[in-house]
Amino acid sequence: MPGFVEFAKNSIWAMIRFFGLGGLMLQVHPKSYLRNRGWFHSFSAKRSVDRKGVPTPWWSYGVIDFVEERLAKTMSVLEFGAGGSTVWLAARVSEVVTVENDSKWSLIVKSFIPDNVVLIELPIPGQLVASDIPSPASDNFQLLIVDALANRIDCAKAGLPFLAEDGVVLWDNTDGPDWPEIKGLMATRGFKEISFSGISPQEVSLSRTTIFYKSNNVFGI
């Protein structure tokens, strides 16, 4: 009987390969990575969600796992670029201050963010100053997220003064032509780097996210 089962299994896989049904198997196989991560759900929904439809960051899955393992309820996050990541982070940290430049998108975000999120609508996020952060929100953050549609170099420069000494920076989409400038900026500030490349929710091509850190950082890198 074990021999027959093995024969049947091999025959089924041979048919799947012969008829080019690999894509279907990715959708229905119980161990399919993309299925279990909710990639097909996010692709259909055209937004960054997991298998259950819960908002998730629009980062590659590898960096999502890396960050999730290191977040703590005591942390505060400053984020440039509100969205699914805002909700996801808010469920895992003490507070999220998110800066968004798109007024129409801000109205949508306000409808689903939880109470521990402070949304700052700023036409030019790269001009963020301390007075823009309302009390009693934190102005000393353990994690800085650079993921805005606005000029990200300027966003990073505006956000770095609010980063704690042991803080970490997550910079999304570092596979573009501005990478040398990003790398140079962070190197002059004394940061080391680790990059993650992989597929992201709803996307079909690879993207890269880079985490910048110093010694004795809050992530323990």
Give the residue among 51, 29, 56 at the shortest CA–CA distance from 40: 51
Q: What are phi and psi of 140, to 5 degrees?
A: -140, 105
pLDDT for res 130: 86
Residue 215 neighbours by CB distance under 10 Å: 8
Q: How many beta carbons lie within 10 A of that of residue 132, not counting itself?
A: 15
- Pair 49, 112: CB distance under 8 Å: no
In the chain, what are the domains? 2-45 (no CATH), 61-213 (3.40.50.150)
Three-class SS state of 30? coil
Give the model's pLDDT for residue 27: 54
What is the DSSP code (8-state) at residue 65? H
Q: What's the rounded Cα separation, in Å, for the pair 141 and 159?
A: 9
pTM of the model: 0.84
Query: What's the pLDDT at 38?
Result: 62
Q: How many CB atoms lie within 10 A of CB 75?
A: 22
**Which of 202, 187, 215 has its CA nearest to residue 83?**
202
pLDDT tens over the chain, length 221 residues: 556 556 545 554 454 454 444 444 445 455 666 666 666 767 777 777 777 877 889 899 899 999 999 999 999 999 999 999 999 999 999 999 999 999 898 888 888 889 999 999 988 888 888 888 887 667 789 999 999 877 899 999 999 999 999 999 999 999 999 999 999 999 999 999 999 998 888 777 888 999 999 999 999 99
C-alpha of 144 from chain center? 12
C-alpha dihedral over 166, 169, 170, 171, to 10 degrees? -170
Contacts of 11 (CB under 8 A, 6+ apart): none
Q: Which helix (H) or strand (E) holds 107?
A: helix 103-110
Residues 8, 9, 13, 19, CA torsion sign: positive
pLDDT value of residue 65: 92
